[in-house]
Amino acid sequence: MLSNLKTRKGMFILSGAVLAAATIILLGFNIFKDNAAAKVNGEMISKEELNQVLNDQYGEEVLDSLISEKLIEQEAKNKKITVADSEIKAELKTLQDSYGGADAFEEAMKSSGVSMDRVNKDLKTYILTRKILEPRINITDDEMKTYFEENKTSFEEGEQVKASHILVEDEKTANEIKDKLANGADFAELAKEYSTDTGSKDNGGDLGFFVKGEMVAEFEEAAFSMAVNEISAPIKTDYGYHIIKVVEKKAASEAKFDDHKDEIKETLLSEKMQSEYTTWLEEAKKDAEIKTY
């Protein structure tokens, strides 16, 4: 999943596989003994052989990425552009959410061999790049209105429900929790104590707002048919047994341009940034003194 790690708007960040290769190449294979990268039935594969293969496969791509990164750093320094830790944390949170949360993102990192230090460095580079490019990009109201009209249906909001739930493995436990709730127990506290849903239990089972199509059918059917503050009987799904509490409801609403201006501007900015990045990078390389060996 992280073989080509990207931010929410698609700005390229160095791939985990390429960076792993780069790390090995740049370290010079100091970890190997007796000049051996491996031995097969006593016959040695030398670190020079491995180095040559990695350079042949990844060398040009890695070097080009590092040159681009260096140009971005130099431009940011010249223009006194900086990135605060809070900006990196906010961008990381958005990236984690795009993978389904911090745990899912961490698993994807592990499977791809990408370190958190590398992710933070790439996010910093992305933010610097964005700050460099934004002044070069102009987005007009006419462009935003055109985009809105062409994509209006995607901005329309269907009926929404805000709910909390307690998920357990068996019906007996679910009924015990239901009885405790009937006797005045606090829903959020019971969620923290009993729920097996690690993504919501620490928040008292809060799932936030969702529309039809986001939840499994049995859960969704119950939630949308309930009244505000109503607590369900145990609902069985493939995940186990749910006790659902509906917290709030929002009726379907027609999309309005003014409500989505910031979102549209962000989308158009991201689209333009990708082409503008290519243009800027070509200009930067043309003006720079770059020697490769």
**Fold type of domain 158-250:** Chitinase A; domain 3 (3.10.50)
**Residues 7-40 as b or e (16 or more Cβ within 10 Å = b):** beeebbbbbbbbbbbbebbeeebeeeeeeebeee
Tokens matching residue 154: 């995607």
The residue type found at 239 is: Y
Backbone angles phi, psi at 200, to 5 degrees: -130, -15
- Residue 158 has what pLDDT? 85
Residue closest to 245 by CA, chosen among 216, 211, 215, 222? 222
The DSSP letter of residue 243 is E
Q: CA 110, CA 53: separation in Å to the nearest integer?
A: 25
* Count of other CB atoms within 10 angstroms of residue 259: 13
pTM over 0.75: no
* Count of other CB atoms within 10 angstroms of residue 44: 13
- Do the bridges between strand 240-250 and strand 235-237 make them parallel or antiparallel, or are there none, so unpaired? antiparallel
- Residue 55 has what pLDDT? 87
Residue the block writes with tokens 């970890």: 31
**Fold type of domain 16-137:** Triger factor/SurA peptide-binding fold (1.10.4030)
- Residue 62 has what pLDDT? 87
**Using one digit for the tens of pLDDT, what is the confidence trace for 238-254?**
999 999 999 999 988 88
Q: Could you state, in order of their start, the residue ranges of all structural domains in the chain?
A: 16-137, 158-250
Is the distance from CB of 159 to CB of 212 less than 8 angstroms?
A: yes
- Residue 108 has what pLDDT? 87
Q: CA 135, CA 129: separation in Å to the nearest integer?
A: 11
Q: CA 47, CA 43: separation in Å to the nearest integer?
A: 13
Q: pLDDT tens string for the chain (293 positions)?
A: 333 333 433 343 434 444 444 454 444 444 455 678 888 998 888 888 888 888 888 888 889 999 999 999 999 999 999 999 999 999 999 999 888 888 888 888 888 888 999 899 999 999 999 999 999 999 999 999 999 999 998 888 889 999 999 999 999 999 999 999 999 999 999 999 999 999 899 999 999 999 888 999 999 999 999 999 999 999 999 999 999 999 999 988 888 999 999 999 999 998 999 899 999 999 999 999 999 88
Is the distance from CB of 277 to CB of 133 less than 8 angstroms?
A: yes
Is the distance from CB of 200 to CB of 165 less than 8 angstroms?
A: yes
The residue type found at 188 is: A
Tokens matching residue 176: 């015990």
The DSSP letter of residue 211 is E
The residue type found at 67 is: I
